[in-house]
Structure 1
């Protein structure tokens, strides 16, 4: 769960992201895994869902560090944190996330998903795919 004031807004990284609502000092604790707050669902549950729910879970859920058969779904703004290989956060402790440098108010909080999800694979950008379809339609080209 997020431990600093944040808001969700349009992101230059992907779709929407989570942004610092006030300055955050380097080393500040930003996020903590809290099983009484973060939603846990069985990983096998994914197969039973509709395609739309599977897409949502694939995008926003990740394996619980202490229960690999469970997925974590963050219910606060934390689920909107985007991925980068040059993050301004440090999630190497897995259950806690820290500011790896001073973060200005209005700056997007970015993490490296591989720090807490060893099997992480970057999904194709939904924003890019939508933009390409929109551009193709505007140019009279059918997109597939």
Structure 2
């Protein structure tokens, strides 16, 4: 499959709708002019297009793929030198804490989704501020006792060694989260209906 055109093939294989086009009238449709316009707008540090270009050029190192470790994993798109912060993002990584009691009001299927993808600690569930319809690919990092990523002193994931293009990125769940990792949380998903 060619690198360009793969999105359309992938979209068709999952029977996903085509992206919104300029003529769509949905109130939340993106401003396609911004997407399609490649005019010579001034490029300066405060300009979103400039920042996005710099992000693509200097900070995008990873993609999702099929893992031989477990399900979906995160893989190096290009070589990642030791000390690099390969999962930098332009979106907020902040989280809001919710009690399990508060989440009992949420449909059971959504609670299961939270249990699969959110940190649960001391009776609190940490939900990303960007919501659950956006993806922070770091949640797909698989566990390894010989990881190539780890948290630095600023609590940001950093390459512990040089990582080759195509290699799966991993963290040691036990070391990263300070306790032996448990892969199931029945308490959050029990009870309630959809």
TM-score range, shorter chain: 0.5 to 0.7
Query: TM-score, normalised on structure 2?
Result: 0.50
CA distance in 1, matches of 2:105, 2:176: 25
94 and 76 in structure 1: CA distance in 2 versus 1, 3 angstrom threshold: same
User: Is the CA contact (8 Å cut-off) linking 2:152 and 2:158 kept in structure 1?
Assistant: no
Normalising by structure 1, report the TM-score: 0.65
Larger Rg: 2
Provide the alpha-carbon RMSD of the alignment: 3.0
User: Higher strand proportion, which one?
Assistant: 1
Matched residue, 2:96: 41
In the alignment, structure 1 segments of 5+ residues that lack a partner are 125-144
Q: Which has the higher contact order (CA 8 A, sep 6+)?
A: 1
**Count of residues in correspondence between the two structures:** 118
Q: Residue 96 and residue 9 in structure 1: after superposition, are their counterparts in 2 closer, same or farther (change >3 A)?
A: same
Seen in structure 2, the aligned counterparts of structure 1 residues 40 and 52 have a Cα distance that, compared at 3 Å, is same
Deviations 1:86-142 (A, max 9, x none): 211111536211111111111111012234433552316xxxxxxxxxxxxxxxxxx
How many angstroms apart in 1 are the aligned matches of 2:89 and 2:77? 21
User: Matched residue of 2:104: which SS?
Assistant: helix
| Alpha-carbon distance change, 105 to 9 in structure 1, aligned in 2, over 3 angstroms | same
> Is 1:114 aligned to 2:174, yes or no?
yes
1:139 aligned partner: none
The answer to whether the 8 A contact 1:33-1:95 is kept is no
> Residue 13 and residue 122 in structure 1: after superposition, are their counterparts in 2 closer, same or farther (change >3 A)?
farther
Residues 60 and 86 in structure 2, CA contact (< 8 A), matched pair in contact too: yes
Would you say 1:99 and 2:159 are equivalent positions?
A: yes
